[in-house]
Amino acid sequence: MEVGAALSLQSSSWIGPEKVGRRCSGSVRLPNRCLEERRAPLVRFGDSRSAGARIRTGHSELKVSSCYKKSKGSDNFHNSFDEALEVKRKSEEVLPYLNSRCIYLVGMMGSGKSTVGKILSEALRYSFFDSDKLVEQAVGLSSVAEIFKEYSEAFFRDNESEVLKDLSSMRRLVVATGGGAVIRPINWKYMKQGITVWLDVPLEALARRIAAVGTASRPLLHQEPGDPYTKAFAKLSALSEERGEAYANADARVSLEHIAAKKGHGDVAALTPTDIALEALIKIESYVTENASVLNSRYIHG
């Protein structure tokens, strides 16, 4: 059975916090445990009807947990039953055009890739993956911050590319990518196997969100002294300057400023994750309906 087929048997699901395999990429010095894992067999599947099916690829074993756990949190994302229904309706319209292709969400740290991604995965009955979590699980450390500290940013980036490579052969996934995944051209080759969507959030809103939860889990924002908002804003501005063009490679752009203007809000803070998920579906629909031939020629996995 193909990976995509195994995943398609499952209802919308997410990756649990358990460690589900270890990975190290080829171009870095590997601890012994990682070398052993790289000899793992190509594909092995668990019983996808069970709540904890395991999907084994050449590089990592991905554990997919039951969707029922997830809905506990994501219920809070919807402001109203009507909003949730609208997202569901739009998903049903978009699904036939997607042809089981994956959705890759790109955007700066804190742009809502995980939050919006979970809503999309539930509505589309896709599985949800967070690529940062997969790298943590593959390396065997509990946070990206630890990976940066124990190894290096380059080591993290190599493993991130390997994770994206593995995911690129799968179907029916929503993937929240790491904020810096866009900087390596090879990652675009993998992500372009699916539909890439840029969550474009103003820097002030990003810095506000990140300051609210602290910068400890985000190593690139944690280096400078200062209050969390100011240091997050300063570093995000620099990163955004470097990466602006890279995010714009995405097939679809979801601008929170545009959604807020459309809905008559003065501030993007008034938008709910459901508003953003709905706009993402609208943008995905436009993209897939207008670019059917491009998509067909791009998809190499058949």
Ligand X SMILES: Nc1ncnc2c1ncn2[C@@H]1O[C@H](COP(=O)(O)OP(=O)(O)OP(=O)(O)O)[C@@H](O)[C@H]1O
132 binds ligand SKM (CB under 6 A): yes
Q: Which of 95, 203, 219, 291 binds ligand SKM (CB under 6 A)?
A: 219
Site for ligand SKM in 172-201 (CB under 6 A): 178-180
Query: CB of 46 within 8 A of CB of 164?
Result: no
Q: What is the torsional sign of CA 160, 163, 165, 170?
A: negative
**Three-state SS for 164?**
helix
**What does DSSP assign to residue 219?**
G
Site for ligand SKM in 233-292 (CB under 6 A): none
- List CB contacts of 225: < 8 A, sequence separation 6 or more: 231
CA atoms of 235 and 225, how far apart (whole Å): 11
Q: Which two tokens mark 56? A: 């084994």
CA atoms of 22 and 34, how far apart (whole Å): 6
Least distance to ligand SKM from the beta carbon of 243, Å?
A: 8
Least distance to ligand SKM from the beta carbon of 160, Å?
A: 7
Quick one: what does residue 219 bind among ligand SKM, ligand X, none, with the CB cut-off 5 to 8 Å set by partner type?
ligand SKM
209 binds ligand X (CB under 6 A): yes
Residue with tokens 């300057």: 241
Q: Which of 1, 5, 213, 300 binds ligand X (CB under 6 A)?
A: 213
Q: Which residues bind ligand SKM (CB under 6 A)?
A: 109, 132, 144, 178-180, 218-220
Query: Residue numbers of the site for ligand X (CB under 6 A)?
Result: 107, 109-115, 132, 176, 179, 209, 213, 218, 271, 273, 276
